[in-house]
Amino acid sequence: MSDIYVIVHGAWHTGAEMEPAAEFIRQKGHQVFCPTLAGNRPGDNKSSTGLQDAVDSLVAYIKEHDLKDIKLVAHSYGGMVISLASEVIPDRIKRLIYVNAFVPEPGQSLTDMIPPMHVGLFDQIAAENHGAIQLPMPVWRESFINDADESLAIASYKKLNKQPYKTLTDKAHLKMPLAASPIGKSYVNCREDTVMPHSYPWHPRLSERLGLFRYVECSGSHEVWFTDPKAIADAVIKAARD
């Protein structure tokens, strides 16, 4: 049976970085779409684009392509976006799949869910760059893509783009907690992900906010999309199964 997947990228990324994993999913006979959110497109205003702009861009993309019965997949920051989008177009979504992604409570921002030291770093970078933030290379190398060799770490870093900080500080004005949503939910946890300290984990700290959900583990770092796209593709398919 052919399913429809929409993969939503995280901060500093575009849909292009999701394509290698998407291609493995397509090889299984499924349709896969990888949109780029507002704020990460060429020419987007990095100082004023906010979380709701990103949500609106995803909803518009899904409606424009008339996609239904979607397995809506999100990586990292993308979890903020699909959480809000799920309240706008619940009739088009079959399952929400979070891949080391943020699961907000109503009224919470992404920066409310990360360690204070990270917020301090982002505040400083944004203040020096008109509201846009770029990851320092050492942070990318050691925390985001710690399972890559040096050449892949450098090559992948060059593909990143500046993230509007407002998308990370805006509050998610959800009408209800994700646990109360009737949409099916899954959480994929990459075991070598050290973006969040393991004392401040993705799972179960954030995943349990989904209420009833399917749990899938995968080897790899936060950026397994670069380092092992087949592994994350297989994990997503497993998380999406009915």
Condensed to tens digits (0 to 9), the pLDDT of residues 160-188 reads 999 999 999 999 999 999 999 999 999 99
Domain count, the chain: 1
Whole-prediction pTM: 0.98
> What integer pLDDT is reported at residue 1 of this predicted model?
79
Please report, for the domain that includes residue 21, its CATH number.
Answer: 3.40.50.1820
> What integer pLDDT is reported at residue 242 of this predicted model?
82
Work out the average pLDDT over 121-142.
97
Range of the domain at 85: 4-240
186-213: per-residue pLDDT in tens? Answer: 999 999 999 999 999 999 999 999 999 9
Please name the amino acid found at residue 18: M
Tell me: cis bond preceding 104? Omega within 30 of 0 counts: no
> What integer pLDDT is reported at residue 18 of this predicted model?
98
For 142, the token pair is: 């050691």
In percent, how much of the chain has pLDDT > 90? 99
15-56: per-residue pLDDT in tens? Answer: 999 999 999 999 999 999 999 999 999 999 999 999 999 999
Burial class of residue 123 (count of CB atoms within 10 Å of its CB; 0-12, 13-18, 19+): middle
91-114: per-residue pLDDT in tens? Answer: 999 999 999 999 999 999 999 999
Contact 194, 160 (CB under 8 A): no
